Structure 1
Amino acid sequence: MFLRSYPKLRYALCLPLLTETCYSEERTLNKVTTQAKRIFTYNNEFKVTSKELDQRQSNEVKDLFRTNPDVNVGGGSVMGQKIYVRGIEDRLLRVTVDGAAQNGNIYHHQGNTVIDPGMLKSVEVTKGAANASAGPGAIAGVIKMETKGAADFIPRGKNYAASGAVSFYTNFGDRETFRSAYQNAHFDIIAYYTHQNIFYYRSGATAMKNLFHPTQADKEPGTPSEQNNALIKMNGYLSDRDTLTFSWNMTRDNATRPLRSNAIGLAYPCEAPFSPDGAQGCPNVLDSFTRYMYRSINSANNLSLQYKREAGNSFGDPRLDFTLYTSIRNAQFDPLFDPNGVYAKFPTSLASEWEKENYPCVEGAYCTPSFSDVDKPSSQPRNLFLNNTGLNLKVAHVIDEATDSLFEYGFNYQNLSVFDARIPKSELYRPNQVYTDDKGQKQIACTLVDNNPNDPTLCQRGKANGNIYGGYVQANYSPHKIITFGAGVRWDAYTLYDKDWNHRYTQGFSPSAALVLSPIEPLSLKITYSQVTRGVMPGDGVYMRQNDLRYAKNIKPEVGSNAEFNIDYSSQYFSGRAAAFYQALDNFISQYAQNLIVTNLNQAIRIYGYEVGGTFRYKGVSLNVGISRTWPTTRGYLMADSYELAASTGNVFIIKLDYTIPKTGINLAWLSRFVTGLDYCGFDIYLPDYGTAEKPKTPTDLAKCGF
């Protein structure tokens, strides 16, 4: 026998296709089994529920975490948004969608997590280096996303349902959603589709200007986008303890935007210290990314097949969780300009020496650099693929059902591949291959790799492939109701066949431990420590074509650690929590420094922070208040924004007020998020020899910071 319940659904405009489809009653979901949900959480963790997502009518990633002060989302356009957990970017977290890993990145100027929030049931976030069972590579935490199923949609007492919704946005856009579902005692299925069209964004300065007849100047460049998103999810209930789940979801974004979707240009593209000769490089050329417009198609497909068996009452009847998955991310970029067309024209008499050497110039006439001359990486068509495929096995034995004590172990395998399907074969060099360079000279490929950062004869495969093999064991035990111990360890081996034809191997252990004290029932004190080792993996998809980027010879694995103290209190009218934490990241593997060498960052990264929050409840009223601050530092400086690493923000304040009108089910909510500004001298890992630059960053700011 199965008992199911269904969470709350809210729509801006609900068009019922069946009676009672638009239903607003809250219930719980899950089969009744002999096992309660047992999770031993080593780290600070929170969960965003479908109720919150529906309440905020979320339609992009930044909507997911508005009520969590310790998670920020940077970037404006849909494809430029990146998640920062305690200041650390999501590439350093283990992100999954229905168990499918989302490791790697297509391009550092685009977001790493591509998902339609409307299809999500919940988002669980673990902050800081995660415990052993979280999976490999969770060096700064975990983001676990679960999509909705049929039981989350069909009203009580019904076997099927369908609905449609239409939304309109004041910032000029529309969204149409359709979903249908069916269930019986042994099977259920849901189908979901949404179309979203964002006409354009406006800045605050032009929000009401020419409202009905906007000019091009009133529109933010590169912001129009169209999305088509779909989900199919099926559950087969093999018995009251065994469930087989198939899930497929797709997000497809079609837009006209710059290749660098999160930036508009470089104010000083060739000024010292950015130019090779350290002098004034190209004063006559302003590198505006908005002139490099592309037809951009980004898609993400996630497929997973999961088998779950709930545990029995004895140690010999464990809980089983086995998942097969694949995640396919694709980004196609086709230039809407002529890469060989003239980008700028200025008198040769006004040209600098650097411009005369690097741009086509005629004495007594003009210099006419092309788009490719000014910015070659932004002038190349690309067809990038980022694929994750793997399996996870988790086994959990019940040590003591009364105290939820568990003994767990498992195995993980993951393959990660990155390639550019549009790289010409003429750009692919094998070791010792003889070829003719641009000057007509015979060269031997790969002869100077690891010796000269300016070597033009680098190896080039146009792709990279990595594998992760790992396993873990962990346990928690409560000798008394007021105390719980927990500990675990995982070991992972990483293999990489990089784009330069080199085979690499890294490995390491990842231990974790926790102590939880509950001196009185509503109070919990928790001390935790976790350390995670992550090896070398395939890099940025765009860099698969970067023939002047190379890997250092000996790259060490990254090591992240998190020490934390948490206080949690929960009662009928008030619940609160406070946390103080210290995180460390050593041997960060950087591929974005100016010398284009993929290697370990010499400087250690240290992160300090705190979080305080509370919720007050009385009858139908709920007030939630939170504050958080994180200090990501290097050499004692706050970090400047760093691709795939970290960003500094000020204090973040959250205030949320909810009121549910009795007997009506109508809920009114008000949410405010405040972030204080920063004026600081930030550490920038991209400047030569790694330096500091005051914000806003310009080439002359090194002197201001004492360097």
Structure 2
Amino acid sequence: MKKTILAALIGNAFVLPAWANDVEQNINLNEVQVNADRQGAKIQTNIVTLREKDESTATDLRGLLAEEPAIDIGGGNGTSQFLTIRGMGQNSVDIKVDNAYSDSQILYHQGRFIVDPSMLKTISVQKGAGSASAGIGQTNGAVIAKTVDALDLLKGSDKDWGVKLNAGYASNDGRSYGATVFGRAGEYADAMFSFNRNDESDYEPGKGYTNANGGKTMPYSALDKRDYLAKIGTTIGDHRIVLSRMQNQHRGTRLVREEFAIAAPRLSLQRQAPAYRETTLTNNNIEWTANNLGFIDKLEANAYLMENKRYSADDSGCGYCGSIPGPTKTTITTKGANLNLDSRINDTLLKYGVNYRHQEIKPHAFLSRTHSLVNPTKADSGVYVEAIHDIGDFTLTGGLRYDHFNIKSHDGKSASGSKVNPSVGIIYQPTQALSFSAVHNYASRSPRLYDALMNHGRRGIVSIADGIKAERARNTEIGFNYDNGTFAADGSYFWQKISDAIANPQQRHDENGNPIEGIREAANAGYIKNKGYELNASYRNNGFRARIGVAHSKPRIYDTHPDNLLSDNPEFAVQVGRTWTAELAYRFNKPNLELGWRNRTLEKAKGSVLVRNNNGGVDEVQRASFNVNDFFANWKPTGKDNLNVNFSVNNIFNKFYYPHSQRAAVTTPPGVGRDFRLAVNYKF
């Protein structure tokens, strides 16, 4: 049994942290890890299931991933938030939803991710450079989500249809509600539609905060979040096809530089130019899964069309946007497809496939007075093969991945390149409860398209340097896992180097505030190193559970370009303090009630991640330590999972703090203060 699960399915794996052992409806956890989405042989290290999500008051990824010490999400709301995995920022991490993802962004002063967790079945995390089968561009990890469908919601039911309702209240400060209808027609067809809304006002940070106007709330943090998901599926024998459309939309009066607050004198209200804006992420996806196709044991394929759109009612005060009065619209369109296959040859599991992605930026207008411009585009394609083989108590893995890119900047200049990335791993399992593992993976990431809002050309042109190469990460990681059913522990140590780090130089302005004309080039500008460790332990006994985890990493950016193109920017990396997470909880049988406490503590961090090799040091950065405590409760009045009443008090002591995955404090949005939350979901 141990070799069937560990060797044949996982490979290259660091098994989940000890606290993540419960999956809804008794599905085998190792199968969920692999089947939730194609994630490569080096699997995720945390997973949030549909059941766990229903037992939570969280309405965003920051809340759902609060237990994971290696992930940090910045302050503010929506795209004000910057996400890091092991201190590495959004330039080199991805969020994949149903295996659809993009690495382009609207503006470097905004976070890149919009996901409504209410529509998700599972959320899992990978860290570091992925193995050959992990997909395009996975140099520093990914958050991987799978949307829920009708069959998931009907599982265990004797009915052919159902309704799920949810509502929530947050004292700081929001109201949410949603409804999902789902059903099936016979054995072959099923469908669902889900709509959710979360209307949030400006939030209050912790005690002692005062904004620039003397008030207690964070200006321009309010968002009206509206989301829907529609799915149609059919199952015929060993084949399943699902067609879906998902849309996440944020509406509100937002600042131009969303990662910053209003702060005099530089970040004045005038320079921040607030206006009504909408950010919309839409994904159309068709997915085909099949089993037992002769030589092919398992097939997973999908094709998607994703659109990331920014609408602004007035950009006259936005220099980044070209200072265009009146409404504007900027769009990033991504088209992609993935084909992933498994075949078993004697005692070896062979994983192989093809990945493709094409991205295009459509700015509102071209404004350059000196150049003829075009829509920037980039195409990535890759093929891979990976083998997993058991020899006694050992599992050996080896893979090879080939990636190629073609990119064209908005001045029409093109570049292309390719990388061959190997991956190897070994797992030694001397007992059923204990395993040791080691991996050595290479992964590459092609040059990122220049920020969509700035492709108009009025602030100058960013072209592509001759001979530009894809970044290439080399990650080595060793770890262990122990789990006897009651006590569990796991840990890992990693060290990584990213060669040929790429910078898109930002066009700013001269000393008089006038845009700088001319051409600059995206180029390989240095290298990045990172190293660190993670340790987790947990204990379970009947209704009692306890866990503790710690993560620490030390990313460093080495800027070697003559023009010093790399910067101390959370897009690239940030020095996050050593992070501790802890939890105590007890579930009673009658009533079916769980009460718990959760803590997240970050030690102080200092020093810039940027190391300039040719002009001396950089400014010292100080990030203060903090700890946040939450109380939570889940009550199941029917004794079953169909009705959940959730309550929490987040930041119970009203701590004022600045999350670390942003720039230095004062100019960035602080964390949310005390927040009483009530959430109910009912499925019938």
Using structure 2 for the length normalisation, give the TM-score.
0.78
Alpha carbons 1:254, 1:297 under 8 Å: kept: yes
Aligned with 2:25: secondary structure? coil
* Corresponding residue for residue 517 of structure 1: 428
Equivalent in 377, 384, 390 of residue 478 of structure 1:
390
Q: How does 1:583-662 map to 2 (within 5 A)?
A: 583-592=496-505, 597-635=520-558, 641-662=568-589
Q: How does 1:481-520 map to 2 (within 5 A)?
A: 482-520=393-431
Q: 2:621 is aligned with what amino acid?
A: K
Offset at residue 124 of structure 1 (A): 1.9
Q: 1:130 is aligned with what amino acid?
A: G
1:198-250 CA-to-partner distances (Å, cap 9, x unmatched) read 1211122468x99xxxx9823311111111110112321111x2111122211
Equivalent in 178, 183, 203 of residue 201 of structure 1:
203
1:54-107 CA-to-partner distances (Å, cap 9, x unmatched) read 333221231231010001112312221222111112331243211212321111
Q: Structure 1 residues 500 and 636, CA, compared in 2 at 3 Å: closer, same or farther?
A: closer
Using structure 1 for the length normalisation, give the TM-score.
0.76
Within 2, Cα distance between the matches of 1:322 and 1:113?
24
* Corresponding residue for residue 633 of structure 2: none
* Corresponding residue for residue 568 of structure 1: 481
Aligned with 1:519: secondary structure? coil
Offset at residue 377 of structure 1 (A): 5.4
Within 2, Cα distance between the matches of 1:499 and 1:41?
37
Whose RCO is larger (CA < 8 A, sep 6+)?
Answer: 2
Q: Structure 1 residues 335 and 597, CA, compared in 2 at 3 Å: closer, same or farther?
A: same
Q: How does 1:177-196 map to 2 (within 5 A)?
A: 177-183=178-184, 184-196=186-198
Equivalent in 229, 241, 244 of residue 241 of structure 2:
244
Give unpaired runs (5+ residues) of structure 2: 1-22, 509-518, 561-565, 623-662, 665-684
Q: How does 1:8-47 map to 2 (within 5 A)?
A: 26-28=24-26, 41-42=41-42, 45-47=45-47
Q: May I ask how many residue pairs the two structures share in their alignment? A: 576
Offset at residue 265 of structure 1 (A): 5.5
1:269-288 CA-to-partner distances (Å, cap 9, x unmatched) read 5xxxxxxxxxxxxxxxx644
Q: 1:616 is aligned with what amino acid?
A: Y
Aligned with 1:610: secondary structure? strand
Within 2, Cα distance between the matches of 1:473 and 1:118?
35
Alpha carbons 2:97, 2:146 under 8 Å: kept: yes
Alpha carbons 1:640, 1:684 under 8 Å: kept: no
Q: 1:605 is aligned with what amino acid?
A: I
Within 1, Cα distance between the matches of 2:215 and 2:470?
48
Within 2, Cα distance between the matches of 1:473 and 1:232?
34
Q: Structure 1 residues 536 and 73, CA, compared in 2 at 3 Å: closer, same or farther?
A: same
Give unpaired runs (5+ residues) of structure 1: 1-24, 270-285, 340-370, 429-436, 438-456, 699-707
* Corresponding residue for residue 10 of structure 1: none
Q: How does 1:409-558 map to 2 (within 5 A)?
A: 409-420=352-363, 422-424=364-366, 427-428=367-368, 457=370, 459-461=371-373, 463-480=375-392, 482-546=393-457, 547-551=459-463, 552-558=465-471
The answer as to 2:301 corresponding to 1:322 is: yes
Aligned with 2:91: secondary structure? helix
* Corresponding residue for residue 333 of structure 1: 312
Q: 1:193 is aligned with what amino acid?
A: F
* Corresponding residue for residue 131 of structure 1: 131
Within 2, Cα distance between the matches of 1:533 and 1:159?
46
Offset at residue 317 of structure 1 (A): 4.0
1:595-639 CA-to-partner distances (Å, cap 9, x unmatched) read 8844335432110100000110001111111001110013599x9
Q: How does 1:110-509 map to 2 (within 5 A)?
A: 110-154=110-154, 156-183=157-184, 184-205=186-207, 217-239=215-237, 241-264=238-261, 287-288=268-269, 291-311=272-292, 316-335=295-314, 339=317, 382-400=328-346, 405-420=348-363, 422-424=364-366, 427-428=367-368, 457=370, 459-461=371-373, 463-480=375-392, 482-509=393-420
Within 2, Cα distance between the matches of 1:609 and 1:377?
42
Alpha carbons 2:462, 2:522 under 8 Å: kept: no
Aligned with 1:89: secondary structure? coil
Identity %: 21
* Corresponding residue for residue 621 of structure 2: 695
Within 1, Cα distance between the matches of 2:577 and 2:543?
33
Aligned with 2:45: secondary structure? strand
Within 1, Cα distance between the matches of 2:256 and 2:503?
21
Bigger Cα Rg: 1
Within 2, Cα distance between the matches of 1:299 and 1:688?
42
Alpha carbons 2:257, 2:272 under 8 Å: kept: no
Alpha carbons 1:642, 1:684 under 8 Å: kept: no
Alpha carbons 2:220, 2:255 under 8 Å: kept: yes
Aligned with 1:232: secondary structure? strand
Aligned with 1:118: secondary structure? helix
Within 1, Cα distance between the matches of 2:549 and 2:589?
27
Offset at residue 494 of structure 1 (A): 0.4
Within 2, Cα distance between the matches of 1:52 and 1:693?
43
Offset at residue 678 of structure 1 (A): 1.7
Within 1, Cα distance between the matches of 2:194 and 2:397?
40
